[in-house]
Structure 1
Amino acid sequence: MNSSLSSDPRLTPARPDLAAEELKGRVAAPRYASARIATVVHGSVLLRSRADGEAPAASELLFGEVLRVYELRAGWAWGQAAADGYVGYVEASALTFQQYRATHLVTGLFAHLLRAPSIQSPAVALLPMGARVTVIETDSDGLHGRIAERDGWINLRQLKPIGKVGATPHALARRFLGVPYLWGGKTATGIDCSGLVQLVHALVGIDLPRDSDLQLAHLAEGNGQAVAPGVAKAGDLAFFPGHVGIMADETRLLHANATRMEVSIDPLEEVIGWLRRDHPDQPFLGLYRLPRGDH
Structure 2
Amino acid sequence: MINAQQTELIENLISSVQKEFSPDKRTVLFSISFSSEDSKVKLNGETTSGKAKDALLKRLTDAGLTFSDSIIVLPSGEAALKPFGVVTISVANMRTKPEHSAEMATQAILGTPLKVYKKVRDWYLVQTPDNYLGWMDDDGLMPMDESSFNQWNDTEKIIITSNACLGYEKADLKSAIVTDLVIGNILSKTGTSGEFAEAKLPDGRLCYVKNEDHIPFTKWAEGIDENNIKAGEIISTAKLFMGVPYLWGGTSAKGLDCSGFTKTVFFLNGAVLPRDASQQVHVGMPVETGSDFENVFPGDLLFFGEKATDSTRERITHVAIYLGGKEFIHAAGRVKINSFDRNSKIFSAYRLRTFIRAKRLLPNPILPGIIPVKTTILNQD
**TM-score, length-normalised on structure 2?**
0.66
With CA pairs under 8 Å and 6+ residues apart, which has the higher RCO, 1 or 2?
Answer: 1
Check the 8 A contact 1:50/1:88 in 2, yes or no.
Answer: yes
Task: For residues 191-218 of structure 1, give each alpha carbon's deviation from its aligned partner in whole angstroms, at most 9, with x where no partner exists.
Answer: 1111011111111211211111211201
Q: Distance in 1 between matches of 2:364 and 2:270?
A: 11
The 10-residue stretch of structure 1 (16-25 or 58-67) with the greater mean CA deviation from structure 2: 16-25
Q: Distance in 2 between matches of 1:269 and 1:165?
A: 36
Paired AA for residue 47 in structure 2:
A
Q: Distance in 2 between matches of 1:112 and 1:142?
A: 14
Tell me the equivalent position of 1:94: 140
C-alpha deviation, 1:137, in angstroms: 1.3
C-alpha deviation, 1:226, in angstroms: 6.0
C-alpha deviation, 1:291, in angstroms: 2.8
Check the 8 A contact 2:31/2:47 in 1, yes or no.
Answer: yes
C-alpha deviation, 1:275, in angstroms: 4.0
Check the 8 A contact 2:340/2:352 in 1, yes or no.
Answer: no
Matches within 5 A, 1:20-39: 20=48, 22-23=50-51, 24-26=53-55, 30-34=71-75, 36-39=83-86
Q: Distance in 2 between matches of 1:245 and 1:117?
A: 40
Paired AA for residue 136 in structure 2:
V
C-alpha deviation, 1:7, in angstroms: 3.1
Q: Does 1:80 align with 2:127?
A: yes
Q: Does 1:70 align with 2:133?
A: no
Q: Does 1:12 align with 2:28?
A: yes
Q: Distance in 1 between matches of 2:268 and 2:55?
A: 34
Name stretches of at least 5 consecutive residues in structure 1 with no aligned partner: 1-5
Check the 8 A contact 1:182/1:190 in 2, yes or no.
Answer: yes
Matches within 5 A, 1:76-155: 76-81=123-128, 83-98=129-144, 99=149, 100-101=152-153, 103-139=157-193, 141-149=194-202, 150-155=205-210
Paired AA for residue 234 in structure 1:
P
Name stretches of at least 5 consecutive residues in structure 2 with no aligned partner: 1-21, 33-44, 58-69, 225-231, 306-316, 367-381
C-alpha deviation, 1:96, in angstroms: 0.8
Distance 1:225 1:231, change over 3 A: closer
Tell me the equivalent position of 1:263: 335
Paired AA for residue 33 in structure 1:
L
> Sequence identity, in percent?
24
**Number of equivalenced pairs:** 277
Larger Rg belongs to: 2
Tell me the equivalent position of 2:248: 183
C-alpha deviation, 1:21, in angstroms: 5.8
Check the 8 A contact 2:283/2:359 in 1, yes or no.
Answer: no
Paired AA for residue 360 in structure 2:
Y
C-alpha deviation, 1:20, in angstroms: 2.2
- RMSD of Structure 2 on Structure 1 (CA): 2.7
C-alpha deviation, 1:227, in angstroms: 5.8
Question: Higher helix share goes to which structure?
Answer: 2
Check the 8 A contact 2:95/2:104 in 1, yes or no.
Answer: yes
Secondary structure of 1:90's partner?
Answer: strand
Q: Distance in 2 between matches of 1:159 and 1:133?
A: 10
Tell me the equivalent position of 1:158: 213
Check the 8 A contact 1:169/1:201 in 2, yes or no.
Answer: yes
Match of 2:103 among 36, 56, 68: 56
Distance 1:59 1:269, change over 3 A: farther
Check the 8 A contact 1:225/1:288 in 2, yes or no.
Answer: yes
**TM-score, length-normalised on structure 1?**
0.84
Distance 1:122 1:284, change over 3 A: same
